[in-house]
Every structure is written in structure tokens, then in C-alpha cells.
Structure 1
């Protein structure tokens, strides 16, 4: 286990694609938000977060994201993206991400996301279902 990722219960491996680089010959800043999205969905795949949406019409929406760029990443490389939930509220939860470059052997990027549970049918926020809260708590307890 890579020491920098030891506190992240879900690790997602992402290969950097040539087309993700920009004119300055490194991965474009906006691409990291897609990397974090992929990691978030990998985290959600550990329980029924996304599968519930068609029947409940309730699901997570991003309220805020941050991204701190520490080192540039270039093709070819493979990133390990750690994801974890750091805070769970009545109707929201916060996540943190850490990107580790296999080629550089170093942390390259950190990010956060504030996510709100949303009722798509009524267009308003809603409470976080207890089974989702319990699933997140179980993942974080490992």
C-alpha cells in the first residue's frame, strides 16, 4: 500500500490519455474533475447510490468542488485516485480525493466535493437515506 493513500478506503486506477494533455504538455486542469468524478462513482459502486435514482428520483448532486494542483502530470502515466467521505450530514456529505502518480511516485493533486442529496421529482434537497449513511460509515470504518 502506498503510504499517501492509506487513509483512503477506495482507490481508483486511471490511465492518463494522450488527448487529456493541453498545449502546455500536461494534463489539462479540468480533466482532474473528471478523474474525481470517476473515483466518486467507484466509491458509490460499493453500495446502491446510483442504482436507486430511477426508482426513488433522489440522488447526489455536487454543490461545490475544489482542486489543488501540486505537480503536473503528463502522458504516459497512471494515477491512483483515493476517495473518502470526511463528513456526513442530514442531507449532505463531503468527500476528499488524492491523486498519486505511479510514474512520479508522488501526490499530484488533491480535491474535495460537497455533495447534497436532491429530490429530482420535487426539485429540492432531501435527507440522506439511512442505508446510504450506513454504507458510507461502513466503508470509512475499514
Structure 2
């Protein structure tokens, strides 16, 4: 692993590697833009699985309220991507996550993104407070950086 890849991993407490599939390419021979949101979803769910938020035990669950993506470099097949996720802000009713994608072939960050996650009451669908226990779990995950 190069210093650049190691530095990338140290900036994100949750990372996962993903192999680019041939079918993710578009007519211009690079990964189609919709796939980046799937990549973000993959690492977002991996992050949330390290909390109790997806289990619904507290009667609340996460909803993706907003997401964005900035394409810095095209990704092509073959490649292995390292997906990174961190929480940049904890709010009363949710949190903001930041994502980055690092290309092993290019040894560079190719894509940046973010999402705002809102916590909702699973029985009513109304916005709910982010449980203190989840805040503590996020703080523990982020301390790994």
C-alpha cells in the first residue's frame, strides 16, 4: 500500500474495498455516474451497521434526506476502489456523512460525496431525535481516525 492509500485509510474510520465490474461502465468506457451513489450506499450501510441505528431497537431508523457527488476523475475497468466514510456533523435529528473513493489504479481520490441522514420514528414516519446511544457509537467510530 502506498503512503497515499494509507493516508486515505487513516482519514476515514470506515473503509471497504470494491472491485469495479465491467457492467458498471457506460458507452464512454468509464463507470456510469449512478454507480457512485451505490458505492456511497455500500459504505454508508457498512458504517451504520457498526451502530444500533439499522436495528430499529429504539423505534427509530435512518432516512437519506439529501446526497451529492463530485466527480474528480473518471474510473474505468479494471480497478479496485477503496470507499471511505466518516461523520462530519452530528445534529439533533441526524448527522452528515462524507464519502470519498480512492482508485487503486490511479492512486488518487476520484470522487467525493456527502449525505444528510435524518432519523425518523418508525411507527409514525415523523422526524425524531438522534438517540444518545447512537451519538456515543458515532463518537467511538470517529475516534478511530
TM-score tier after normalising by the smaller chain length: over 0.9
Per-residue deviation at 1:56? 4.3
Find 2:13's aligned residue among 9, 15, 23: 9
Matched with 2:54 is: 50
Q: SS of 1:125's equivalent? A: coil
In structure 2, relative to structure 1, the CA distance for the partners of 1:56 and 1:131 (3 Å cut) is: closer
TM-score (norm 2): 0.91
Per-residue deviation at 1:2? 2.1
Matched with 1:125 is: 127
Per-residue deviation at 1:57? 4.2
Task: Trace 1:90-101 onto structure 2 (pairs within 5 A).
Answer: 90-101=92-103
Task: Trace 1:11-90 onto structure 2 (pairs within 5 A).
Answer: 11-51=15-55, 53=56, 55-90=57-92
Q: SS of 1:75's equivalent? A: coil
TM-score (norm 1): 0.93
Q: Structure 1: any 5+ residue segments left out of the alignment?
A: none
Number of matched residues? 140
Alignment check: 8 A CA contact 2:53 2:60 kept: no
Aligned equivalents of 1:48 and 1:13: distance in 2? 23
Aligned equivalents of 1:49 and 1:57: distance in 2? 9
Kindly report the root-mean-square deviation, in angstroms, between the aligned alpha carbons of the 2 structures: 1.2
Q: Structure 2: any 5+ residue segments left out of the alignment?
A: none
Q: SS of 1:5's equivalent? A: helix
